[in-house]
Structure 1
Amino acid sequence: MRRPPQLLWIVLAVLAAGLLLLVFNHDAGRTFGLENDQFANILTAGLLVTVISAGIVASRPSFGEVTRNIAAWLFILLALTTGYTYRYELQDIASRVTAGLVPGSPLSVTDSEGNVTVTVEKTGSGHFEARAAINGKPVQVMVDTGASMTVLTVEDARSIGLDVEALNFTVPVSTANGVTVAARARAQTIAIGNIERGPLPILVAQPGALSQSLLGMNFMGTLSGYDVRGDRMVLRD
């Protein structure tokens, strides 16, 4: 049986020693004068460089191959670092592109402190509508601050995985078409852009009673605030 290379035992020993130091110094918060998080990052980076270097040496490549490999790894590390540094800006760009390509998609913006705002546009009907994600499924909803609960049409309820046939339509509700009845249900998640809540109670309107699903105050009331700016409604997480 082939024995593991000596370098593997050295790497494992260093990793074990580093982990033990972190465990013993957990309460102190520092190891060799460094914060435990910094020490862990240095330990991980050092082991990664050692393994990569050993692989290059063991394969005995030419000088040109070594240079290309080092350049490739540096490019990968630079790309990962840049992506992490500008992660919020990249999320904003992706959200803007999606909002432009998919009608009704909300525009999410995250600032440097991690605060999220979502902009919803007013449609030709004069209402604020957005493409929400309920239980991970797309649902076009109208924002209705006059509705205490989020109400789904039967079709939308079925599309997010609810067993509509098992629902009990006994809850009286008022709609633009008058008083009707709805059934109580629950959504595991409701998301508008990058703002997500759940689980939340919802209602399902009886067939034919509602033409479009409504996003009510049981979602809107969880926000830190929202305001209307012309044809836009801005939601703040």
Structure 2
Amino acid sequence: MLAVLLAILAALVVVFWSLSGDSGSLLAEAGDRWPYALAMLALVGLYLAFLSGDYRGRAREALRHAGAWLGLALLLIVGYSYREDLRAVAYRVAGEVLPPGHSILVSTSPSGELAVRIRRQENGHFVARGTANGVALSMLVDTGASTVVLKPADAERIGIDVQNLSFTTPVSTANGTAYAAPVRLRTISVGPLEVRDVDALVSQPGALNENLLGMSFLKRLRSYEFSGDFLTLRGTS
């Protein structure tokens, strides 16, 4: 009986090696993988030793229970091996079910690049729910706007003294030409993506119905891409 259990343990070692790649890559990543492997195998070994004594004379029941535990161990190893793929799938599913405008982190890279997706609204526009100077704001993504543009009420919410602004910069709106005041924002964030020292404008009262997330933010990202019902922003935190 003990010999059978030890054979199962040896088989588990072989499975772990096969899932981890070739021996060269495994040794190269020893510091990353082996602590998990040794801990797993030690626990399995202790459990098998327990089975060999507690199930003495009941080999079939022992093998059935050992198989269940080894199957669970194998599932954990496979899950760990494909954790990045599983995380990406989870992010994509979340992006499908979250309401439009909510950002979802869909991928990361070793270089620190992040990718965030925003779902299109029913009216066809992309609205990002982010922050400006740490205060939550909704902003209409507008690649035709050269800068970020804020409504006066929201500018006041993030700490800008609107009363002392000089509205001297002409801007084109749906209602014609209006005037705005140039400001600089400490930060604008969409999900985990953050851009610092962003040029922006504050519109005159009544000139703008929505805040605009313009190119002074978008061009500071690594990239942005419209694809179907999703906008993907790529940058760093």
- Verify the 8 A CA contact 1:99 1:105 in the aligned structure 2: no
Deviation string for 1:81-102 (max 9, x for gaps)?
xxxxx89x98997998799677
Q: Which residue of 2 aligns with 1:210?
A: 208
> How far apart, in 2, do the equivalents of 1:166 and 1:187 lie?
16
Percent identity over paired residues: 41
Deviation string for 1:114-157 (max 9, x for gaps)?
32011111112211111011000011001100110100011111
Return 5+ residue gaps in structure 2 as ranges.
1-30, 32-82
Q: Which residue of 1 aligns with 2:74?
A: none
Letter in 2 for 1:184: P
2:154 maps to which of 147, 153, 156? 156
Q: Which residue of 2 aligns with 1:179?
A: 177
Letter in 2 for 1:104: G
After superposing the two structures, state which structure 1 stretch, 99-108 or 179-188, moved more. 99-108
* C-alpha distance 229-90 of structure 1, shift in aligned 2 (>3 A): closer
> How far apart, in 1, do the equivalents of 2:88 and 2:126 lie?
23
**Does the residue aligned with 1:162 lie in a helix, a strand or coil?**
coil
Listed as ranges, the matches of 1:217-232 within 5 Å are 217-232=215-230
1:183 Cα shift? Answer: 0.6
Deviation string for 1:65-111 (max 9, x for gaps)?
xxxxxxxxxxxxxxxxxxxxx89x98997998799677622112342
> How far apart, in 2, do the equivalents of 1:137 and 1:224 lie?
24
Q: Which residue of 1 aligns with 2:188?
A: 190
Q: Which residue of 1 aligns with 2:102?
A: 105
TM-score (norm 1): 0.57
Letter in 1 for 2:124: G
TM-score (norm 2): 0.57
* C-alpha distance 99-106 of structure 1, shift in aligned 2 (>3 A): farther
* C-alpha distance 99-183 of structure 1, shift in aligned 2 (>3 A): farther
Return 5+ residue gaps in structure 1 as ranges.
1-37, 39-85
> For this pair of structures, how many residues does the alignment match?
153
